[in-house]
Structure 1
C-alpha cells in the first residue's frame, strides 16, 4: 500500500508476508531499498539497497528518508502497518523508563522493564506500552 512519493518513486508497505521491524519498500526497477521506521521515535533509517552495485546516489536515499520522515507520511506508514499487521514490533523487548528508549546493548537496570504488549493508536498518533512488573504503562506521543 502506497505511503507517499518522492521524485516519482513510490514508498510503500507490502501487504503480504510482511515482517518486523516496521519498514517501507522503494522499488526503482534497477534497485530496491528498504527504510525502517519506529513506533517509539521519529527517526528513519536506511535498512538496505539491493543490488548494492546499482545503489542510487546518496542524495536520493536521503531524500527518501526525509520524505518518509514528514509527519503526515510517517503517521500514514504507521497507520497502514498497524492496521495490516496489528503489531508495533516491540513486544518482549526492553524499555528503559529513565531514558525513555528501547535500550540496545545497554545493561539492564532498575528502570528497565520488559514490554508485555504494545499498541498503536492512529487517531492520537501514540504508542501505548504495557510493562511487566510496572503498574503504570507508558504512552509515547509521536
Structure 2
C-alpha cells in the first residue's frame, strides 16, 4: 500500500511475506531501497539499496527518508503496517525504564524488562508495551 510519493517514486508498505523490522520500500526500476521506521521513536533510516552499483544520488535517498519522517506519512506507514501485519516488531526485546528506549544490550539491570507484547493504537498514534515482571506497562506517545 502506498504511503507517499517523492519525485515520482512511491514509498510503499508491502503486505505479502513481509518481515520485521517495520520498513517501507521504494522500487525505481534500476534500483530499490528500504527505509526502517519504528513504533517506539520517530526516526527513519535508510536500511539498504540494491543493487549498490546503481544507487541513486544521496539527495534522492535523503529526500525519501525525510518525506517518510513527516508525521502524517510516518503515522500512515505505521497504520498500514499494524493493521495489515498485526505486529510492531518489539515482542521479546528489552525495554530500559531508565533510558526510555529499546535496549540493544542483553545485560539485564533492575531497570530493564523484556517486552512481553506490544500493540499500536493508530487512532491515538501510540504504542503500548506489556513488560514481563514490571508492575505497569509503557505508553509511548509518538
For residues 137 and 66 of structure 1, the distance between their equivalents in structure 2, rounded to whole angstroms, comes to 31
Residue by residue over 1:45-98, the C-alpha shift from the partner in whole angstroms, topping out at 9 and shown as x without a partner, is 100000000000000000000000000000000000000110000000000011
| C-alpha RMSD of the superposition | 0.8
Give TM-score, length-normalised by structure 1: 0.98
Q: What is the deviation of 1:106?
A: 6.2
Q: Which runs of 5+ in 1 are unaligned?
A: none
What is the alpha-carbon distance in structure 1 between the residues aligned to residue 107 and residue 115 of structure 2? 16
- Matched residues in 1 for 2:106 and 2:4: separation? 35
Corresponding residue of 2:80: 80
Q: What's the TM-score once normalised by structure 2's chain length?
A: 0.98
The aligned residue for residue 105 of structure 1 is: 105
Structure 2 stretches of 5 or more lacking a match?
A: none
User: For 2:130 and 2:123, how far apart are their aligned partners in 1?
Assistant: 19
1:98-140 deviations in whole A, cap 9, x for unaligned?
1000111363211000000000000000000000001210000
Q: Could you list the runs of 4 or more consecutive aligned residues of structure 1 that deviate by over 4 angstroms after TM superposition?
A: none
